[in-house]
A and B are shown apart, each in its own frame.
Chain A
Amino acid sequence: MTQFMDRTVIGLTLGFALVALLGVFVLPDWLMSQVLIAFSRALAVLGLVVLWRTGLISFGHALYFGLGAYTVAMLGKDLGVTEVLITLPAAGLVAAVVGFALGFIIRKYREIFFAMLNLAFSMVLFGILVKTEALGSTDGFSVEQPTLFGIGTEDSTVKLTVLFLAVCTVGWLSAVLVHRYLGSVLGSLTTAVRDNEIRVEYLGYSVAQAIHGKYVMSAALTGLAGGFTALALGQVDPESMVNWTVSGELVFVTVLSGPGSVAAPFIGSLLFELLRTYAFELVPYAWQLIVGGTLLAVIFFLPGGLWSLISKLGGRDRAAQPGGNRGEGER
């Protein structure tokens, strides 16, 4: 695990390179934009996976998603900053700073209280945004055209390609970093904290600090996800960025993907996006029914998420590895 290039890193690198090449040379625009949105959300899901391995699930990460999205949008609208090399890191940074501040409170909470306190914080932001006339209230406002190295473009295909390559790069980097983190001593504590906090304290580690670190990490990743989504959609609004249903959706994709691997969020997120698009085209009034039904099916029949299916197909049974949820052991 400690050598720099292990199997997962090689797999991630090849996988992302393949997707990037496919995207630029093969995929049609509409599919590329689906992958862009899916991979943007996958960044947030990656953050939630880090928390879930500790046994924590947040029902309020729409807070950081919205912060990231509004940071990008407001930098363009109010300060005229459209450079993605500034706006996207800013989105992650703002989310990380807020996550760091709130983390001092949140790190003391577990289980349902953890989920609910996050929900409360995210709904506070939602409550503020829907009533802020300057930010378009419930309608939101549109995002300025992004620029890279000061160069902007009107060509939508070029813009899409650039954003697509950016999300692939950031996704690859984040996945590798999170993987390295989970392999480190601090990262190995995640599962230990879930299993028995008191023993972790006896080992001489601070559980509160370990959780705080993970929380900030997940906030930053979710902020980045929000920033990318804002750029991809060209529009921010409270209902689709900050409401509790967004948090629910993020947790949904987390469970769909399963905590087995850092690659799982990207695969799960892509499948979710395709599922949603096709369900919406097939039955416009009942797409939620299909999505909700899928969620129930995953919970009942695939407790380890999609990744457990992939591992089984690959002959590598990861059920016994850290990250399998409690339900898995009982079945």
Chain B
Amino acid sequence: MNLALTILVEGLGYASYLFIVSLGLTIIFGVLKILNVAHGAFYAWGAYSCAFLIGELSTMGVSDLGTMIAIPIAALVVGVVLGSAIERTIIRNLYGRDEVIIVLATFGLFLVLEDVILLVFGVDPYFAFQPTLAMPGVQIGGIYQDGYKLTMIALSLVVGLISWIVLNRTHWGKLVSAIIFDSELAVAMGVNVRRVFYVVFVAGAVLGALGGAYIAPTISVSPGFGVEVIVLSFAVVVIGGMGSIGGAAIGALMVGLLRAYAVLQWPEIELFVVYAVMAAVLIFRPEGLFAPAKARKI
């Protein structure tokens, strides 16, 4: 019972940050049809900026709780500045090129951005644990749980809910759905597709950076840690169905819980199990689990 609870909480905590990161990846894929390898760089940039900002705020004498303001600031600044710059200079000029060429271009971007991080922030790891100190621990079922992790679960629920409302209940969401369904027809109807592409790309970048910024206080932020996240969020997106928000949630839950179970019970299969599930989903249901096969035209 206790074990099941631990796996559940661990898995949910892990799933929630994977969900936030993968959500950014999946909306970019769904709308722009671009598999963005550079997404891992948004994540890493978010984490580095956040850790740096928390350190600065802390030395200025801001309270532990107050340093949490660094998280949204880092996510927004990194997402908007980096996302805009990349969309305007690189991505925009690649629309219409071969799909795989675009993926490769984002891989090149990823390499570049990874090294710019080293040039800007240096090679030493950053520790920014202040926000985790501000959160009291919580007892659930007799087990002490880290409060910060619980807020992460809450954040992912909020992010998921907001995305759902924006996509399903607003004018912008309808435009996005129209473009996902058939971008040529959307153009014919007078939708400014380029502008929607731009906004979606920046929103995706903000989400990627937010995932990184929120995880930063719980880890040591060190070079190269974006590499693993990219391919994990690829797995999440593929398992749930590329381009679907519900799919990203389900994919993240599956990967998070599977991995938590593996880490606690059977560490040898920790990575293997995630990618085995990814391969199995691609083989038996390439459109993704629980994804309506018809509505998505990908």
Contacts and interface: CB of A to CB of B under 8 A. Distances in A.
Contacts of A112: 35, 99-100, 103, 242
Contacts of B99: 111-112
B231 interface: yes
Interface stretch (B67-75, B126-134, B144-152, B273-281): B273-281
A292 B96 contact: no
Given A120-B235, A124-B275, A326-B97, A295 B111 contact: yes
Contacts of B268: 131-132
A330 B111 contact: no
B101 interface: yes
Interface string A317-331: 000000001110010
B66 interface: no
A120 B278 contact: yes
B119 to A, nearest CB: 6
Nearest to B231: A244
Given A115-B103, A120-B282, A285-B115, A296 B235 contact: no
B107 A295 contact: yes
Contacts of B115: 285-289, 292
Interface string A262-290: 00000000000000000000000111110
A123 B97 contact: no
B238 A120 contact: yes
A50 to B, nearest CB: 15
A295 B279 contact: no
Q: Of B35, B115, B227, B278, which is in contact with the most chain A CB atoms at under 10 Å from its CB?
A: B115
B185 interface: no
Interface stretch (A73-81, A178-186, A247-255): A247-255
Contacts of A244: 227, 230-231
A296 B90 contact: yes
B97 to A, nearest CB: 5
A307 interface: no
A40 B108 CA distance: 22
B78 to A, nearest CB: 18
A33 to B, nearest CB: 24
A13 to B, nearest CB: 32
A119 to B, nearest CB: 7
Given A292-B115, A325-B98, A130 B108 contact: no
A296 B98 contact: no
B231 A119 contact: yes
Interface string A97-116: 00000000100010111011
Given A112-B99, A113-B286, A327-B98, A292 B279 contact: no
Nearest to B100: A57
Given A119-B234, A287-B115, A295 B272 contact: no
B271 A327 contact: no
B227 A245 contact: yes
Contacts of A119: 231, 234
User: Which of B104, B110, B119, B123 is the most central at the interface, judged by chain A CB atoms within 10 Å of its CB?
Assistant: B104
A124 to B, nearest CB: 5
What band does the interface of chain A fall in when counting residues whose beta carbon is under 8 Å from B?
Answer: 35 or more
Contact of A131 (B90, B101, B230, B269): B269
B121 to A, nearest CB: 11
A291 interface: yes
A315 to B, nearest CB: 27
B154 interface: no
A170 interface: no
Given A123-B271, A127-B270, A325-B98, A285 B238 contact: no
B166 to A, nearest CB: 26
A300 B93 contact: yes
Most B CB contacts (10 A, CB to CB) among A111, A120, A286 go to A120
User: Which among B37, B108, B109, B286 has the highest number of chain A CB atoms within 10 Å?
Assistant: B108
A158 interface: no
A245 B111 CA distance: 10
Interface string B247-269: 00000000000000000000111
Contacts of A295: 104-105, 107-108, 111
A195 to B, nearest CB: 13
Contact of B108 (A111, A121, A293, A325): A293
B283 interface: yes
B271 A130 contact: yes
Nearest to B277: A120
Given A123-B278, A327-B98, A296 B109 contact: yes
A94 interface: no
A109 B279 CA distance: 12
A287 B223 CA distance: 14
Contact of B97 (A57, A243, A327): A327
Contacts of A309: none
Given A289-B112, A292-B109, A127 B275 contact: yes
A255 B107 CA distance: 12
The 9 closest A-B pairs by CB, nearest first: A292-B111, A127-B271, A127-B272, A295-B108, A289-B115, A120-B279, A123-B275, A292-B112, A57-B100
Given A124-B276, A285-B118, 12 more contacts: A112-B35, A117-B282, A119-B231, A124-B275, A127-B270, A131-B267, A248-B107, A252-B108, A285-B123, A289-B111, A295-B107, A326-B97
30 contacts: A57-B100, A59-B103, A116-B278, A117-B283, A119-B231, A124-B272, A127-B270, A127-B271, A127-B274, A128-B272, A131-B271, A131-B272, A243-B227, A248-B37, A251-B100, A251-B104, A251-B107, A252-B107, A287-B115, A289-B111, A289-B112, A289-B115, A291-B111, A292-B112, A292-B115, A294-B108, A295-B107, A296-B109, A327-B97, A330-B97
